[in-house]
Structure 1
Amino acid sequence: MSEQPGRDRLIAGRYRLLSPLGEGGMGTVWRAHDEVLQREVAVKEVRAPAGLPAGDVERMYARLEREAWAAARVAHPNVVTVYDVAMEGGRPWIVMELVRGRSLADILETTGPLSVTETARVSAEVLDALRAAHDVGVLHRDVKPANVLLSDDGRVVLTDFGIASVEGSSALTMAGEVIGSPEFLSPERALGRTPGPGSDLWSLGVLLYAAVEGGSPFRHDTPLATLRAVVDEPLPPPRLAGPLTPVIEGLLRKDPEERLPAEQAARDLRLIAAGGAPTTRVAYVPPPPPTVPLPEGEPDPGPPVRERRAGVVLVIGVLALVLALAGLTYTLLHRDDGDRNEGGSTPSATVTKTGEPRSPTPTSHEPSPSTSKSSAPPSSSEPAQSVRVALSGEHTRYEGSCPPPEAESPVFTATFTVGRLPAEVRYRWKLRHGSFEGREWRTLSFPEGGERTRQARVTVRTNDEDGASENAISVEVREPERATSDEVPFTVTCDKTTETPSDGASASSSGTP
């Protein structure tokens, strides 16, 4: 926990804190006086989430400092100006231009939704700010009404570039609290995939919807339910948006490659703000919802040294929302970017991107890849579609402190090869003791003109302190024909007397509730 500075505290020998302007999950913004240049400024006191390990805190602050300086490169009237990054008490304090006005969140809360033309005007200014940032390689990553200021002089100013949401650092507190705004998070960030300019455009689409409709389209009672809605659920049809509807629908396409381009969105928003009609006419048809595995049921009794309850951990982007049950937890880290029908998880150092077609490569000498067992009658009119699945494992015997370091956790790679293209493979991971029940079937797409081989990967983690668990994993294919890989056994033995390695376990892969 950081200490709360009082009034008149001097930061870096220069910035005197006067009064708090606002407070959020990542810190407090202060009105302050620059005693060198004799002007008022805004100073953001950045605080790490409670319970974050010291090493992660240090890396987080270093990254914040770098990204604040990166944001300072964005020179645009719709972007808050970053003046300085001062180090005080071992953490960065971001010194910015003081904008006098109200946030869009305050306005929506007190006066209700904006008109269509005012929403278009404000959003067009926000989009101008984002395009200026993207031009210099800066992503905002936290576009929301609270970070849009409507100044007293009529400016629309986007604040908190790279500060409120820090890519690659954990935002999980000891109580499981999620820091950030899940309802404005893009599907690719919710699935742990690499964000890009399209991720900011998605957040702008949610902001547009909230501003004109009076509420976020994906908000639910809990952060996890909200994130699942972002990934799974179709967009609720706007009721009040009028000519803004095709712009909103174009920005809120689940696939970032299919979103409305920034140039076209900017043109349409300017036309609507002036009372005209947008040029975007194509109706948006939501893609099929992806499936996200959920923990269900008890594991079957079997030969493990110590029986455990198995559960799935859904790790969602930088929010690292952990669903950890007692005992062995299985963190699915599958990332099939070409697939519209499945969820994903935060990548780790041991996870390779599986969304791009590629030829199989050996991953380990222990154990050797297995062969598939399939039986489907060939078609009389054309060659039968076939699928082969081979499974290999790395680090299949772990013994030491738990959770295991990410580089030493058991990792299993499934290699799928189809007989002809295009193809759709439906498959799931299976455990010898315990199973992933419910919505665990996943779809892997093999497009026409692509490769006939693709891979998927799963990592096994544990939160136990001692004891051993023996199990085995395999892959079952349901379509286009039934096939099953051989089982690959693995053992995780936790010894709490063993000293934890210095690099520790990835905070984003598993956590302690």
Structure 2
Amino acid sequence: MSSHNGPEQAGHGLIGGRYRLGERLGRGGTGIVRRATDELLGRPVAVKTLALDDGADPAGALREARVVARIRHPHVIVVHDVVEHDGRPALVMELVEGGSLADRLATGRVLSPRETARLGLDLLDALGAAHALDVLHRDVKPANVLLEKGSGRAVLTDFGIASLPGATTLSGTGVFVGTPEYTAPERMRGDDAGPASDLWSLGALLCAAATGTSPFRRDSLGAVLHAVVYDEIRPSEVMGPLVPVVRGLLERDPDRRLGAAGARRMLADCLAAAQEADGPEADTPSIAASRAEDARPVPDAHPEPTPRQPTPPEAHDPGGARERGAAGAGRRGGLALPLVAAAVAACVAAVTVAVLLAGDRRTTDTGAPTAPGSSSTGPAAAPGPVPAGYTAVSDERGFTLAVPAGARRSTDGDRVFYTTGDGAVWVGIRIRAIPPGGAIGAMRYADESGPGTNRGYRDATVEEIRHKGLPAARWEFTWDGFTAAEGPRHTVDLCWEQAGTLYDVWASAPVDRADEARGYFDTALGSFRTSGRTSGG
């Protein structure tokens, strides 16, 4: 949906036997959005009708409705109904009272780094929910992000050109699909595109949110396309701690681009650092528009580690995607505008050009960044009796515990992993400040985010418990795993509050080794000590 642009009056007819149309709220690429009243239920709604003069495909509206109906997420627009209007389908959606991010930026009100980080986390969750269902949005931009008045909730809308992975950048009639200054370079080249393309768009959106404009804004469409594919990308220093995550998301090679899990951790760290630095009295007019929003737990919605494991060859280049992309460069149809045709032709040449960002960030196959200084070494032994088959270790992060004999240590940001020799089972440890909402709040938020962060998330349970007399929460779930070859995994996680610190220990294994992982988990918890004291204080 486009921006809420004022009270231009439209027809006030009744459609679908119950929805009375009101003022026009905006116009997107596939239709016009109006305020309406559901006279049956007595509630306000938004109705998106296809513009009669833009050649919109009625089948596209139905497809959009079906796509959005599959994605149930608080940061994704809700479609209530589909009715007929002027012989075409009309979408009845939730009404988000408040303008779009584009509206806000148009008034010169950019977001602070703190607000931008929070917005990025919300949109990552929304995209994660879509990507888990193999849906690509393909038009992530400020005009398609609504900011709810009062609550500050960010809502991703306008799935009118959403598609399954592998869809072309051009429509069947040769018209460019998307918004060039927010479109990933691989889509400009006509290559196959996946979830990483939406993440590029998110990176450009975060730049716009914090600075007021996309980093690829130029005077002509041809110049925009050239900037996306060729020009050096220099995120503004005004973005402060957000610069590294934006650099990672705007990596031109999709195989090296920062993944969703890595971006989420970096944005959560930015938000936590900003909250600590600013303090509760330093809030600017926020997306949240209230301090209550700041009470939301900083998510750790994807506790799975990204240890360095041997990667199946097909994971590096699924089905020869690079070769298909290069060969497919000559199969694109003509564009509607000669200027676009010339610009895209120039972009095709870029398939042979490797443009690298400053601040190189390599990622694992799960999309999470490998933290600078990550280690993968044998654990240092610590004295003390341990069960047979285990080794007691004294970790440099300030804790001791018993891990499987032969386990190797690795780190990913503030998380530490001890992985069995075959790389299949691991124990993870994370130590951080207690987030708002405490242990149970963190676990409940992680569970809510689970479907968007763990493919095939299912059989989840979250319960509030006591661990050695301390407030704690336990979370278990099954998911589809990192690769089809590896198969489903099961994770068990327990975090507890102690002396102002949240301690989190979990174990993960293929489902057929879940009992083995539970044994490692129980032993790790029972043997965990910090600062010379028991975990129970």
Query: TM-score, structure 1 length as denominator?
Result: 0.50
Q: Distance in 2 between matches of 1:219 and 1:96?
A: 31
**In the alignment, does 2:23 pair up with 1:10?**
no
Using a 3 Å threshold, how does the CA distance of structure 1 residues 320 and 243 change in structure 2: closer, same or farther? Answer: farther
Q: 91, 95, 119: which is aligned to 1:122? A: 119
Secondary structure in structure 2 of the residue aligned to 1:84: strand
Q: Which residue identity does 2:48 align to in structure 1? A: K
Q: 1:94-115 CA distances to partner (integer Å, 9 max, x unpaired)?
A: 2110011121111122143211
Q: Distance in 2 between matches of 1:215 and 1:149?
A: 17
Secondary structure in structure 2 of the residue aligned to 1:19: strand
Q: 233, 238, 241: which is aligned to 1:240? A: 238
Using a 3 Å threshold, how does the CA distance of structure 1 residues 98 and 237 change in structure 2: closer, same or farther? Answer: closer
Q: Distance in 1 between matches of 2:212 and 2:37?
A: 36
Residues 229, 347 of structure 2: 8 Å contact kept: no
Q: Distance in 1 between matches of 2:334 and 2:92?
A: 25
Q: Distance in 2 between matches of 1:192 and 1:338?
A: 10
Using a 3 Å threshold, how does the CA distance of structure 1 residues 45 and 255 change in structure 2: closer, same or farther? Answer: same
Partner of 1:195: 193
Partner of 2:47: 43
Partner of 1:181: 179
**In the alignment, does 2:88 pair up with 1:82?**
no
Q: CA deviation at 1:321?
A: 4.1
Q: CA deviation at 1:169?
A: 8.7
Q: Which residue identity does 2:353 align to in structure 1? A: R
Residues 45, 94 of structure 2: 8 Å contact kept: yes
Q: Distance in 2 between matches of 1:65 and 1:71?
A: 10
**In the alignment, does 2:203 pair up with 1:205?**
yes
**In the alignment, does 2:27 pair up with 1:30?**
no
Residues 172, 319 of structure 1: 8 Å contact kept: no
Residues 44, 94 of structure 1: 8 Å contact kept: yes
Q: Distance in 1 between matches of 2:232 and 2:268?
A: 27
Q: 251, 266, 286: which is aligned to 1:268? A: 266
Q: Which residue identity does 2:85 align to in structure 1? A: E
Partner of 1:340: 353
Q: 16, 22, 25: which is aligned to 1:21? A: 25
Partner of 2:140: 143
Using a 3 Å threshold, how does the CA distance of structure 1 residues 181 and 223 change in structure 2: closer, same or farther? Answer: same
Secondary structure in structure 2 of the residue aligned to 1:127: helix
Residues 314, 321 of structure 1: 8 Å contact kept: no
Q: CA deviation at 1:63?
A: 3.2
| Structure 1: runs of 5 or more not aligned | 279-312, 343-513
Q: CA deviation at 1:90?
A: 3.6
Partner of 1:501: none
Partner of 1:418: none
Q: Distance in 2 between matches of 1:132 and 1:233?
A: 32
Task: Count residues with an aligned counterpart.
Answer: 292
Q: Distance in 1 between matches of 2:169 and 2:240?
A: 39
Partner of 2:338: 322
| Structure 2: runs of 5 or more not aligned | 1-7, 277-297, 299-328, 356-537
Q: Which residue identity does 1:199 align to in structure 2? A: S
RMSD, aligned CA: 3.7
Secondary structure in structure 2 of the residue aligned to 1:124: helix
Q: Distance in 1 between matches of 2:96 and 2:334?
A: 29
Aligned runs of 1:368-383 on 2, under 5 Å? Answer: none
Q: Distance in 1 between matches of 2:10 and 2:263?
A: 44
Q: 1:76-95 CA distances to partner (integer Å, 9 max, x unpaired)?
A: 11111111222333432121
Identity, % of aligned pairs? 45
Q: 65, 72, 92: which is aligned to 1:95? A: 92
**In the alignment, does 2:226 pair up with 1:222?**
no
Using a 3 Å threshold, how does the CA distance of structure 1 residues 147 and 332 change in structure 2: closer, same or farther? Answer: closer
Q: Distance in 1 between matches of 2:172 and 2:106?
A: 28
Q: Distance in 2 between matches of 1:49 and 1:253?
A: 38
Q: 1:386-411 CA distances to partner (integer Å, 9 max, x unpaired)?
A: xxxxxxxxxxxxxxxxxxxxxxxxxx
Q: Distance in 2 between matches of 1:316 and 1:107?
A: 37
Secondary structure in structure 1 of the residue aligned to 2:63: helix
Using a 3 Å threshold, how does the CA distance of structure 1 residues 319 and 184 change in structure 2: closer, same or farther? Answer: farther
More helix by share: 2
Q: Distance in 1 between matches of 2:351 and 2:229?
A: 15
Q: 153, 156, 161: which is aligned to 1:159? A: 156
Residues 314, 322 of structure 1: 8 Å contact kept: no
Residues 21, 34 of structure 2: 8 Å contact kept: yes
Secondary structure in structure 1 of the residue aligned to 2:255: helix
Q: Distance in 2 between matches of 1:217 and 1:31?
A: 33
Query: TM-score, structure 2 length as denominator?
Result: 0.48
Q: CA deviation at 1:338?
A: 6.8
